[in-house]
Amino acid sequence: MNALKVFRGLMAFLTAIPVKMDESFLDISAKFMFLFPVIGIIIGVLVGAYARFANTVLFSLFGAINNIVFSGSYEAFFQFAAKGLASAMIIAFILVIIGLQHTDGLVDVGNALGMRKASLEDKVDIAHVWTVTRTGAFLALAVSFFTFLLIFLTKTDVIIQALIVAEVSAKLAMVTTGWQGTSPPPKFYENRWEKGRSFIDSIRKKHGLYAISLGISLVVSVALFGLTGVFAVVAGMLVGSVMIVVGKQVFGGVNGDIFGATNEIARMVALFVLVIL
């Protein structure tokens, strides 16, 4: 298959960047799921470059305001404000680049988790309607807030590297769920097109493909952060493994919502690892 078409297919699936691609991008993305970390690198570079730009501009702007208006008396406050606003802008930019599909999955998983005594059928139903429960909203807001906080705590001089590794780890986490996960029973998805099934079928137990995905993730992460990068990659693998269990409990297996939620949670956890180490 043409390499450009594969690249465009993966970009169409994992980002909101407009690329000329027909509906075959879903099949292409499933078949080449092991290359998700490559797209993670690209997303990380774009978001990281924007982060560096936002921090540079806002620190300069707020510094100028402090010097001109307050004679430099509130330097700490204005630096704090600049970093906070920049972090909020970075979160917004991530949503612009990736779109809301992963956040939607996070909300759907939260909705289902809030229905502790409900049947699998009811949990599947809540994930396929335009409904946001308190649990779904709380999960999405909590992940977004902590991601914001971790970006705020990340040193500006390594923000690009950190965001690249975080996105790579997030994409490897998705690959991990497909590699070891199982699809929900078909009876829960009658008359529904379940895109998660094709992704699992393409990589489940295919250890060679997973090794390629893991190798790409490790090479990039080690090059940027050394041993700390290894821990960030391992964190992504662990999140993927945990989400397999969550998917089994709430949906009977890994579906599209689990993939989306895994991406968002794994990014947050990878950033946490990079910040504390």
> In sequence order, what DSSP letters do the residues of the chain get, joined into one string?
--HHHHHHHHHHHH--------TTHHHHHHHTGGGHHHHHHHHHHHHHHHHHHHHHHHHHHHHHHHHHHHTTTTHHHHHHHHHHHHHHHHHHHHHHHH-SHHHHHHHHHHHHHT-TTS-HHHHHHHTTSS---HHHHHHHHHHHHHHHHHHHHS-GGGHHHHHHHHHHHHHHHHHHHHHH--PPPGGGGTT---HHHHHHHHHTT-HHHHHHHHHHHHHHHHHHHTHHHHHHHHHHHHHHHHHHHHHHHHHSS--HHHHHHHHHHHHHHHHHHHHH-
Cβ distance 173 to 243 under 8 Å?
Answer: yes
- Give dist(CA 176, CA 204) in Å, integer: 9
Write the pLDDT tens digit of every residue in 115-157. 766 666 666 666 666 677 888 899 999 999 999 999 999 999 9
- pLDDT class of 165 with cuts at 50, 70, 90: very high
Per domain, the residue ranges of the chain are 38-276
What percent of the chain stands above pLDDT 90?
A: 66
| Average pLDDT score over the chain | 90
Answering whether pTM is above 0.85, one says yes
**13-64: per-residue pLDDT in tens?**
999 988 877 778 888 999 999 999 999 999 999 999 999 999 999 999 999 9
Which of the residue ranges 3-7, 101-105, 237-241 has the most confident prediction, judged by mean pLDDT? 237-241
- Residues 207/162, Cβ–Cβ less than 8 Å: no
Say what the pLDDT of residue 52 is.
96
What pLDDT is attached to residue 208? 95
